[in-house]
Chains A and B, each alone.
Chain A
């Protein structure tokens, strides 16, 4: 099977990413992706205008809900538009558009339902020691919650087949959605594969990105979600 980039919808959740989003869209377009859906999650800057000027689709949340909610919105839209594959991609320039093709290749070769990017199989440029340790700890915490032992449990670069989109539902509005996606994979018996990708930590993405203390919030949100199901 040859890669048809028009069959892939790239979904990006963006909150006040007016500074970085243009370069991200340029990167995706340069790789040949035309179906780019940016979910403007209640931004207070020029994110929506920048995206429109670049010719990508904008879905605007009238209030900020969180990355999980924004991704689910974009994924539902892509599904309604008939996407064969949906890629989730970060808005802060940490991801490389060239990696989507790698995800697709491994996904289709292995007949998996979802391909998960792994910076620890690939590259994590300029990652700090502390961030690395927190991410490694996250792998163990994720294993406790999902039973899945991954090399990178908190990577926003993923490629889902249409089947995976139908099976996965993100109810966690905030950052705990990453664990929730993996829980869905485990509970629904979806076949997944980890693929080496590159994560670039720039000064912008480090300042804008998640604080390490957010990890505690993610842990609590995931635990509370488990109790809710009780």
Chain B
């Protein structure tokens, strides 16, 4: 049952990834999703992968990876927010200057 729930969740994220315009991020997301799907249906592989990397348990490996992925996502969102903020600043600035130049 849990495998079906987790797989459904991963599928929803996959649908979201289709909306990513940047190929690099789409590929990274799909790679993470595929890995997640494999670990859901073959948890023994997560244990083997963990041991290869010097981590005791598969669940621990997934936790560590997820922490790193979360940081990357946060940095990406910060970048997007900054871009939006810059766009807002440009709009507000143009309105302010154009208004004054028009009045003069």
Residues of A within 8 A of B (CB): 39, 57-63, 65, 69, 72-73, 76-77, 80, 171, 173, 224, 227-228
Q: Is the interface of B mostly helix, strand, loop or mixed?
A: helix
Tell whether A227 pairs with B92 under 8 Å between CB atoms, given A77-B100, A80-B97, A173-B85. Answer: no
| Residues from chain A with Cβ under 8 Å of B78 in the complex | 224, 228
A57 to B104, CA, bound (A): 10
Contact assessment for B97 and A77 in the assembled complex, using a CB-CB cutoff below 8 Å:
yes
Contact assessment for B97 and A59 in the assembled complex, using a CB-CB cutoff below 8 Å:
yes
> When the two chains form the complex, which single residue of A58, A73, A227 contacts B75, counting CB atoms closer than 8 Å?
A227
Q: Closest Cβ of chain B: how far from A35's Cβ, in Å?
A: 13
Contact assessment for A61 and B79 in the assembled complex, using a CB-CB cutoff below 8 Å:
no
Contact assessment for B89 and A65 in the assembled complex, using a CB-CB cutoff below 8 Å:
yes
Decide yes or no whether B96 CB sits under 8 A from chain A: yes
Contact assessment for A72 and B93 in the assembled complex, using a CB-CB cutoff below 8 Å:
yes
Residues of B within 8 A of A (CB): 75, 78-79, 82, 85-86, 88-89, 92-93, 95-97, 99-101
Contact assessment for A61 and B93 in the assembled complex, using a CB-CB cutoff below 8 Å:
yes
A58 to B104, CA, bound (A): 11
| Residues from chain A with Cβ under 8 Å of B75 in the complex | 227
| Residues from chain A with Cβ under 8 Å of B82 in the complex | 228
Contact assessment for A63 and B92 in the assembled complex, using a CB-CB cutoff below 8 Å:
yes
In the complex, the chain A residue whose C-beta lies closest to that of B85 is A173
Q: Closest Cβ of chain A: how far from B93's Cβ, in Å?
A: 5
Q: Closest Cβ of chain A: how far from B73's Cβ, in Å?
A: 15
Q: Which of B79, B99, B100 has the most CB of A within 10 A?
A: B100
| Residues from chain A with Cβ under 8 Å of B93 in the complex | 61, 69, 72-73, 76
Q: Closest Cβ of chain B: how far from A127's Cβ, in Å?
A: 32
Q: Closest Cβ of chain A: how far from B42's Cβ, in Å?
A: 37
A199 to B102, CA, bound (A): 36
In the complex, the chain B residue whose C-beta lies closest to that of A40 is B96
> When the two chains form the complex, which single residue of B89, B92, B101 contacts A80, counting CB atoms closer than 8 Å?
B101
| Residues from chain B with Cβ under 8 Å of A65 in the complex | 88-89, 92
| Residues from chain B with Cβ under 8 Å of A173 in the complex | 85, 89
| Residues from chain B with Cβ under 8 Å of A57 in the complex | 100
Q: Closest Cβ of chain A: how far from B55's Cβ, in Å?
A: 28
Contact assessment for A228 and B79 in the assembled complex, using a CB-CB cutoff below 8 Å:
yes
Contact assessment for B95 and A62 in the assembled complex, using a CB-CB cutoff below 8 Å:
yes
A69 to B88, CA, bound (A): 11
A130 to B28, CA, bound (A): 48
A61 to B79, CA, bound (A): 24
A165 to B7, CA, bound (A): 56
| Residues from chain B with Cβ under 8 Å of A228 in the complex | 78-79, 82
| Residues from chain A with Cβ under 8 Å of B89 in the complex | 65, 69, 173
Q: Closest Cβ of chain A: how far from B76's Cβ, in Å?
A: 11
Can you pick out 23 interface pairs between chain A and chain B where the beta carbons lie within 8 Å of each other? A58-B100, A59-B96, A59-B97, A59-B99, A59-B100, A60-B99, A61-B92, A61-B93, A62-B95, A65-B92, A73-B96, A73-B97, A76-B93, A76-B97, A77-B97, A77-B100, A80-B97, A80-B101, A171-B86, A173-B85, A173-B89, A228-B78, A228-B79
